[in-house]
Chain A
């Protein structure tokens, strides 16, 4: 699933979705209060 503004080649979606998996995403992996970043 993509937002309307995205322009992503359909062939690449399965590859990029692996990166989007929450278990792999660095945005989310820093969550839950145990992150590599503090208040700044």
Chain B
């Protein structure tokens, strides 16, 4: 929910109807997310239907402050704004903070990280590799 991927979840005729929106179209994680939601609802005694909603497109603005903190706590740098993102990804400016030590002495390793919505960074102070969640708007 804090990622903004779950757009709605309402109970209708004893069935929970859940709408989810991918972070980007074709995200391979959506089937797993849907299955995880179905399993959690089933464990709580609810039948459910999952619907994939592509419009409006997901944006990183939908990540809640708690979601951003959860990302950072887990070791994924939360998205900066769109202009800062261009500076970081295209001009190599050192703005993204290392999620391990907090240093801004970090560099882009790859435009794509472990998923297409993230980029791979490394901290030049503590050497920790980490993902940066790209700004999508």
Residues of A near any B CB (own CB < 8 A): 1-3, 5-9, 11-13, 15-20, 22, 24-28, 30-40
Tell me the B1-53 residues at the A interface (CB within 8 Å): 1-11, 16, 23, 28-29, 32-33, 36-37, 40-41, 44, 46
Which residue of A13, A24, A32 is within 8 Å of B75 (Cβ)?
A32
CB-based contact B113/A8 at 8 Å = no
- Give the A-B pair count, Cβ closer than 8 A: 128
Residues of B near any A CB (own CB < 8 A): 1-11, 16, 23, 28-29, 32-33, 36-37, 40-41, 44, 46, 61-67, 70-71, 73-76, 110-118, 120, 129-131
> Hey, which chain B residues are within 8 Å of A7, CB to CB?
7-10
CA of A32 to CA of B120, assembled, Å = 9
CB-based contact A28/B64 at 8 Å = no
Which residue of B11, B62, B113, B116 is within 8 Å of A5 (Cβ)?
B62
> Hey, which chain A residues are within 8 Å of B37, CB to CB?
16, 19
CA of A15 to CA of B117, assembled, Å = 26
Given contacts A16-B1, A20-B2, A37-B115, contact A5 B7 (CB under 8 A): yes
CB-based contact A3/B4 at 8 Å = yes
Given contacts A27-B29, A31-B74, A31-B113, contact A6 B131 (CB under 8 A): no
> Hey, which chain A residues are within 8 Å of B114, CB to CB?
30-38
